[in-house]
Amino acid sequence: MKKLYGVIGNPIGHSLSPLMHNDALSHLGIDAHYHAFRIKEEQLENAVKGFRAIEISGFNVTTPHKVDVMRYLDEVDELAGQIGAVNTVVNRNGALVGYNTDGIGYIRSLQSISKEPLQEKRILLLGAGGASRAIFFSLAALGVREADIANRTASRAQELIDACRYEIASKAITMEQAEAQQHEYDIIINTTTVGMSPHVADTPLPIRSLKRGAIVSDIIYNPFETRLLREAREAGAIVQNGVDMFVYQGALAFEYWTGQWPDVGRMKQTVITKLG
Ligand code: ATR
């Protein structure tokens, strides 16, 4: 029987996941369909029950359900539990198991452009919201030794550091400190919403001077090149936008569901064509 996958969220109309996953499924000859379901918050429990009834093979979870969905699952993987959010659910013989592929997917995307292992790198994260939490905990779980966090509200950065149970050396710093010491970092990652369309003239970190060979990565993909990335590129940095993170979180989910690693280059092209 044809398998069913999907994504739940609200709103969900603009999700690029159906396009990306359906193309990958058909490309690998897997008899399955991936569908977007708009689920209101008060219908989340019913939606998960319905998925059990129809024996869905797996689904992604996006805003606003990433935290609340956990209470309706049978099991939550350790890292997802630490992060406190699930974006991927796998149906294992009737048991719904939750994972978080956002952080690990992001790290895979970073590894795809970094020639060296990330463990020894000095990393600066801008922002301390949900996306930062997933990335920071995943970096720590991977064994990265040092990652500082700069946030407009410094107390949120410290809370994130205090909440992390994996071993990692971190300091909460101000945005001003981040600006002043930006040249000390090998990798700078923007997880804030600053610079996102339509506020494209804004930047979370004016580029002054970067370390030689630095990577600057922005999880925003609208616009493709934020002011942060443009300034970093002009300063000679290796830059990466948020398309890769989106593609890799999807590729990891795909692997969890099907056991096959999809063609990420093809997935990326599908997404870029649609966005472009
Ligand atoms: P997400 O789940 O996408 O990470 P979030 O939890 O709302 O979203 O977090 C947004 C991040 O962007 C936060 O780090 C936020 O900083 P505060 O913790 O100080 O709110 C940051 N952010 C949003 N707008 C900002 C702005 N105008 N200037 C600086 N930081 C901003």
The overall average pLDDT reported for the chain is: 97
pLDDT above 90: residue 276: no
Q: What structural domains and CATH numbers belong to the chain?
A: 3-100+244-275 (3.40.50.10860), 103-241 (3.40.50.720)
Please state the pTM of the whole predicted model.
Answer: 0.95
> Mean pLDDT, to the nearest integer, of 179-196?
98
Instruction: Check if 182 has its Cβ closer than 6 Å to any atom of ligand 1.
Output: no
pLDDT at 205 (0 to 100):
98
Strand runs labelled E in the chain: 3-9, 32-38, 58-61, 75-76, 88-92, 95-99, 122-126, 146-150, 172-173, 187-190, 215-218, 238-240
ipTM comes to 0.97
pLDDT above 90: residue 158: yes
* Residue 57 annotated as part of some ligand binding site: no
Instruction: Give dist(CA 269, CA 88) in Å, integer.
Output: 22
Of 49, 66, 121, 268, the catalytic one is 66
121 is catalytic: no
pLDDT band for 215, please (50, 70, 90 cuts). very high
User: Are 131 and 110 within 8 A, CB to CB?
Assistant: no
Instruction: Check if 12 has its Cβ closer than 6 Å to any atom of ligand 1.
Output: no
Instruction: Check if 174 has its Cβ closer than 6 Å to any atom of ligand 1.
Output: no
Instruction: Give dist(CA 218, CA 128) in Å, integer.
Output: 14
- Between CA 61 and CA 217, with CA 153 as vertex, the angle to 5 degrees is 55
Residue nearest to atom 30 of ligand 1 (CA): 152
Give pLDDT tens digits for 248-274: 999 999 999 999 999 999 999 999 999
pLDDT at 134 (0 to 100):
97
* Residue 155 annotated as part of some ligand binding site: yes
Give pLDDT tens digits for 62-120: 999 999 999 999 999 999 999 999 999 999 999 999 999 999 999 999 999 998 899 99
Residue nearest to atom 21 of ligand 1 (CA): 192
pLDDT at 115 (0 to 100):
81
